Amino acid sequence: MVSIGLHAASTRVEGQDPAVLYIGGFALVSLVPSVLMDWPELDFDRSMFKAGFARFDAVDRENQAWDVTFEYQPGIAWHRIKPLVGLSRNSDGATYTWLAGALDVHVGDYLVANVNSGPAFYFPGNAGKRLGSFGVLRSGFELGLRFADTARTTLSFHHMSHGKLMNRTSNPGTETIGFSFWWTVS
């Protein structure tokens, strides 16, 4: 009797980072109603500036730092999507900048959600967390309160990684959790 043994090559299947799933789920929950329903676009034609603080690497806690963030969202839109330009610097010396598409979803006059995603350039400096690439995707969402048509405060959650597109061996990714204040500039 001849025995033929078939051995399957062992492969390790890596699961998706849970942060990406949270952001994707929140984006879907935000985008579908805003596209299907005629929800008000209260700040549609307003330019806004944002200043905020965030905890860098808040989920993995491998190389935590404090971020200071500035963003500008001009009062222009294409199918409800507004451009968003940002710059962040953290206490470990890392600097990153991004250009994103952002969608504001207003629930009534005072509640607002913002979903945004786009390419970012990340420079870790000497002590910052290494993400495996200078080019990453930064995606996230913010939930907040809108005040008197001129300002809002939000809590935010963002994820940055390159999904092994830029470096097949290293993609640690990072998350930031923060608080921001937005105000109308025009």
**What is the predicted pLDDT for the residue at 6?**
43
β-strands 65-73, 81-90 pairing:
antiparallel
Rounded distance, CA 158 to CA 106, Å?
20
Rounded distance, CA 88 to CA 185, Å?
20
Give the domain extent around 76: 42-184
Residue 12 belongs to some domain of the structure? no
Residue 107 belongs to some domain of the structure? yes
| Short-list 51, 182, 57, CA closest to 122 | 57
Residue 178 belongs to some domain of the structure? yes
Residue 18 belongs to some domain of the structure? no
8-49 confidence digits (pLDDT tens): 443 333 445 666 666 666 666 655 655 555 565 677 788 999
Residue 169 belongs to some domain of the structure? yes
Residue 73 belongs to some domain of the structure? yes
Residue 31 belongs to some domain of the structure? no
Rounded distance, CA 53 to CA 43, Å?
23
Return the CATH number at 90.
2.40.160.20
| Short-list 138, 141, 95, CA closest to 119 | 138
Number of domains the chain contains: 1
Residue 21 belongs to some domain of the structure? no
> Model pTM?
0.79
